Structure 1
Amino acid sequence: MIRIDDVLRDRGSRYAVSGGPVEGRAGAEAFIKALKREKKFAKATHNSWALLCQSEGPIKNDDGESGAGAVILKMLEREGLRDYVIVVTRWYGGVHLGGDRFAHVVTCVRALLDAKRAGG
């Protein structure tokens, strides 16, 4: 598992990103469950995730952050990364970010992909 706890902050919101190899939706859900065992992730406002699954196809979950799963999924498709879940976590800071939240999801996914390429 790769985890980057403090990727960025904007107007009070904080972002983290996690990822790792999984098998299917059940594997992704187990990954999220393990992540949420840590209190700060369980209390996060959103744990949006996506998986490009070899056997089940594309799977995503916005977890209330509308459109975030689709952004993550598109990046996984571009990368050709299969059977690897990426979770972008946001702790809401009280200010709506509008479209900037999508740019922040992209920044988080890029940080994880860069760490993965570097052997993280």
Structure 2
Amino acid sequence: MIVPTDLRSGDVYDTTPDFIYAVSLIAALEGATGHNGHATVLPYLGMARAELTDFGQRRPAHYVPVHISDLPAGLADLDERLTALLADSPVLQHSLRIDAAQRLLRRGVAAVA
């Protein structure tokens, strides 16, 4: 017998301020198109965001405005935020996703350098 499923039932909106800021920072970095190296790091930011949000299964409850004045400084800030998120993560699945996001971010930073 076929049982109807709600595809959105797995969505989890995370209200943690650190998670919300990290995802907002990634969105701001993705939108910082006028900076040198942006095109190189953009695919890595997208992959890092996908990992951090567990491919849509963990969503920020909202976004906060983040201003990017310097791409390398923004990337360094994101790396620090991910390190803090990883240190405070009590859920193994989230820890693995944060670690994967940080690795992708670091590959992007290395590609820009």
TM-score by length of 2: 0.33
Where is the helix percentage greater, Structure 1 or Structure 2? Answer: 2
Larger radius of gyration: 2
